[in-house]
Structure 1
C-alpha cells in the first residue's frame, strides 16, 4: 500500500457511564495541539459507539487518506494505566452497541482470521515512552486483550487493512493524579515514537 504523510486518530462518543468519553477529549486535544515533530496532515475523527458507524468510518479513512499510521483511542476502566493493544479478534462481538445492534453472527465484517496482530512493537514502544515521560502515576504497557466491543472491533477492521500501520491505545478515566493533559502528552509521545520506527 502506498502511504501518504497522514496520521489518522479516532476516538469514541458517549457510552455507558462516560457522558464525555475520555478518548473523544484526547482527540480534541490532539486536534488543537497536533503531534510534536510531525509535519504531515493530522486527521481526527470521532465515531459513535455503533458497529455500523465504526465499519463505515474506519474503512473510509483508510481509503480516503492512505495514512502512514492509524491510531484508534478508546477508554477502559483501569485507572492510571495506558495499554497499547497488540491484537484484536474477528469474532465474539455479542455486546449490543448504543443502537442495540450487533454484527451478523457476532463476526467483524472484515474477518479473515480469528486473531490479527499489529506488527508495531508495542512492548518496545511502551517501554520507551514510559522511560521518556517517567510518570510515576501513569503506567504504560502492551496488552493482548482489547475486549470484544467497539474498541476491539475498530482495531480489527484496521488490522485487516494494514497491520503494519495500525495501533489501538486504551486510555484510563481521568482524575486529579492522571489528567487529560498528562494522558494526551503520553499519547502524543506514543505516536511520535511509532512514527520514528516507521520512518527508520
Structure 2
C-alpha cells in the first residue's frame, strides 16, 4: 500500500463559550501521544470555532494530505459518553460562531443534499469498541451532531470526501472522563474505523475479481 492510503488526519476544536479548554483538542493531543501504530501517518489539527475558517481549512486538509480518513472530534456539553455521529446535516446553521458570524444561507453547501452519511458503519464501530476489555469509556451512536460548528465541519468533510469522514463527540473534561481516557477511547475507535475501511475495500476488490 502506498503511504497516502495510511494517512489519517484528526482534528479537535479550539476554545469557545464556557469551554475555555476544549476537551476535543485535549483528547486529540492525548491520542496523538499514543499514536495509531507505525503504519499510520497521523496528522492532528486544531480547528477554530469559526464557520469561515472551517470552510477554508477542511478542503485544504483534504488537498494537502489526501488522507484515507479524516476524523473530526468536538465537545458536547450534553454528552456523557463518547458519541459516534452517523451523519452531517446541511441546513439550520443559525448559531453565531466565535467571531459572531453565521452563514447567510444557514447551510454548509448550497444545493448539497440535506444529509450525508459516513461510509463507516458507526453501529459496528460502537459494538466492537464496547467489546474492548478495559477501555472503561462508554461509547454510543447518534444521528444528530447538533447544527453548530461540529455538524457544519462534519457535513463539509463528508461532502468533500464522499463520506470518508467521521465525527466523534466527547463530553467536557472530568464529566466523567479525563483527557487521557478520552485519548485512549479515540485511539481504539479510530483503529476500528480503519479496520472496517480495510474490510470494505477487500470486499470491493474481491467483487471486482469475480466479475
Q: TM-score, normalised by structure 1?
A: 0.92
Q: 1:143 to 1:99 in 2, by over 3 A?
A: same
Contact kept in structure 1, 2:86 and 2:143, CA below 8 Å? yes
Counterpart in the other structure of 1:69: 69
Q: CA RMSD in A?
A: 1.8
Counterpart in the other structure of 1:197: 196
Give SS of 2:52's match.
helix
Distance 1:41 1:77 in 2: 31
**Unmatched runs of 5 consecutive residues or more in structure 1:** none
Q: More deviation in 143-152 or 159-168? A: 159-168
Q: More deviation in 53-62 or 167-176? A: 167-176
Counterparts in 2 of 1:35-54, with a 5 A limit?
Answer: 35=36, 37-54=37-54
Contact kept in structure 1, 2:10 and 2:45, CA below 8 Å? yes
Counterparts in 2 of 1:131-146, with a 5 A limit?
Answer: 131-135=131-135, 138-146=137-145
Q: TM-score, normalised by structure 2?
A: 0.87
Distance 1:53 1:100 in 2: 13
Q: CA deviation at 1:43?
A: 0.8
Contact kept in structure 2, 1:4 and 1:65, CA below 8 Å? no
Contact kept in structure 1, 2:28 and 2:186, CA below 8 Å? no
Q: More deviation in 51-60 or 126-135? A: 126-135
Does 1:107 find its partner at 2:123?
no
Counterpart in the other structure of 1:86: 86
Counterpart in the other structure of 1:173: 172
Does 1:182 find its partner at 2:181?
yes
Distance 2:110 2:158 in 1: 9
The structure having more radius of gyration, on CA atoms, is: 2
**Unmatched runs of 5 consecutive residues or more in structure 2:** 200-211
Distance 2:63 2:110 in 1: 15
Q: CA deviation at 1:145?
A: 0.8
Counterpart in the other structure of 1:19: 20
Q: 1:24 to 1:144 in 2, by over 3 A?
A: same
* 1:166-199 residue CA offsets vs partner (Å, 9 max, x unmatched): 0000001121752111111111000000111111
Does 1:34 find its partner at 2:35?
yes
Contact kept in structure 1, 2:29 and 2:183, CA below 8 Å? no
Distance 2:28 2:89 in 1: 24
